[in-house]
Amino acid sequence: MLDTSPPEGVEPVSASVTGLEGIPAAWSRGDEILFPPLDRYVPAAAALRRGGFLTCIDLCGVDYLRHMGRALPAGVAPERFEVVVQLLSHERRRYVRLRVQVPEADPVVPTLFHLYPGSENMEREAYDLFGIRFEGHPDPTRILMPQDWEGHPLRKDYGVGRVPVQFKEAPGPR
């Protein structure tokens, strides 16, 4: 559930950090969520880093194939995929989330590795499981699935049951 106004007594990060002007924002469970367009994703992350958000807690992909009507702020067009980044400022004692819409036709997003070292494995996981590529990533290989694996298993249109289950011979009755 998204709210349009911050909780009482909480100043929006988007109002106090230079470089976030004009980026749609919303609130969920007390955390601010910013929805930068794809071309402002890295500049928004850089602005947040300058504003004290020094730790990338999480980065993941989401496939909204069957939920294109989800709640988004005005001016944000839904795409099939999203990259969601959770950043933490120890100084402010706050989290902020970035939710970037990623088109199905060209699921490519710039890497945040140069801003947040440590995010490279999370980006590799998003590629491996959703097929979202991170341009400029230092090691764009699979991390969970074998290198020769076909497809991306967390996509909503990925075939169920494609992997045959193999059991060792079961012991006979006693």
**SS3 for 50-68, per residue?**
HCCCCEEEEEEEEECCCCC
**Residue 19 falls within a domain, yes or no?**
yes
Amino acid in position 55: T
Q: Give the separation between CA 156 and CA 171, rounded to whole angstroms.
A: 37
Mean pLDDT of 121-145: 95
**Residue 161 falls within a domain, yes or no?**
no
CATH code of 95's domain: 3.30.460.80
**Residue 67 falls within a domain, yes or no?**
yes
Residue 173 pLDDT level (bands cut at 50, 70, 90): low
Q: How many domains does the structure of the chain reveal?
A: 1
Parent domain of 95? 13-135
Amino acid in position 49: R
pLDDT surpassing 90 at residue 172: no
pLDDT surpassing 60 at residue 69: yes
Q: Give the separation between CA 101 and CA 81, rounded to whole angstroms.
A: 6
Q: What is the pLDDT of residue 164?
A: 59
**Residue 4 falls within a domain, yes or no?**
no
In the chain, the percentage of residues whose pLDDT exceeds 90 is: 75
Residue 119 φ/ψ region, left for φ over 0, alpha for ψ in the -120 to 50 degree band, beta for the rest = alpha
**Residue 68 falls within a domain, yes or no?**
yes
Q: In 17-170, which residue ranges form alpha helices assigned H by DSSP?
A: 41-50, 120-130
What's the Cα-to-Cα distance from 13 to each of 37, 92, 98, rounded to whole Å? 17, 10, 12
**Residue 152 falls within a domain, yes or no?**
no
Q: What is the pLDDT of residue 170?
A: 63
**Residue 47 falls within a domain, yes or no?**
yes
**Residue 87 falls within a domain, yes or no?**
yes
Token digits for 148? 């020769």
* Phi, psi of 57, rounded to the nearest 5 degrees: -75, -40
